[in-house]
A = this chain, B = another copy of it.
């Protein structure tokens, strides 16, 4: 039950962000942030049919994040400590990052994407098609985040 589960990177993500603190908090507002996803040779056959998708989900290792924090101060409301599973903080027991990115180009050796927030050198674990149809139909409630996101919306100028 407590056994480790191990994965092998299928590629590596080259992004403009060198440190976690350089990455944008709202990547969908940063179309200029482009990344190159390099897929290792032996996994490239799996990229077939990605053409035609406008967005993909990248699953990767948050390799620069320290583990173990169960409570954290989220950037949206740093005055209060929150349970880490109620935040998107990269410092979590299992540092697995999930990002929806825009697919610009499928190349022989990988992908060109934009709207990214991962740091340079992130080991890629999986690519999945992004399918909003699989999301919930009901109204989504966002707990403590709801108020903070509303403030953000009111402030933003993009």
Q: Which residues of A contact B (CB under 8 A)?
A: 1-10, 12, 26-28, 40, 43, 45-57, 59, 61, 63, 70-71, 82-88, 92-94, 96, 98, 100, 102, 115, 123, 125-146, 149
Which of these, B5, B28, B102, B142, contacts A7 with CB under 8 Å?
B5
Contact, CB under 8 Å: B96 / A126: yes
Q: Which of B96, B125, B140 contacts A132 (CB 8 A)?
A: B140
Interchain residue pairs with CB less than 8 A apart (22):
A2-B8, A3-B8, A3-B9, A5-B123, A7-B7, A10-B94, A43-B93, A45-B70, A45-B71, A46-B71, A46-B84, A47-B86, A48-B82, A49-B143, A50-B86, A53-B142, A53-B145, A56-B85, A57-B98, A59-B98, A85-B127, A129-B143
User: Whole-angstrom distance from the CB of A100 to the nearest CB of chain B?
Assistant: 6
Q: Is the CB of B52 within 8 A of A141?
A: yes
CB distance B5 to A126 under 8 Å?
A: no
* A93 vs B127: C-alpha distance when bound (angstroms): 10
> Shortest distance in angstroms between A115's beta carbon and chain B's nearest beta carbon?
7
Residues from chain B with a CB closer than 8 A to the CB of A7 are 4-7, 94, 96
Flag if B5 contacts A61 (CB, 8 Å).
Answer: yes
Closest Cβ of chain B: how far from A40's Cβ, in Å? 8
Q: Which of B47, B56, B96, B129 contacts A59 (CB 8 A)?
A: B96
Whether A131 pairs with B142 at a CB distance below 8 angstroms is: yes
Q: Are B54 and A140 in touch, CB under 8 angstroms? A: yes
Asked, given contacts A85-B127, A98-B98, whether A136 binds B53 with beta carbons under 8 Å apart, the answer is no
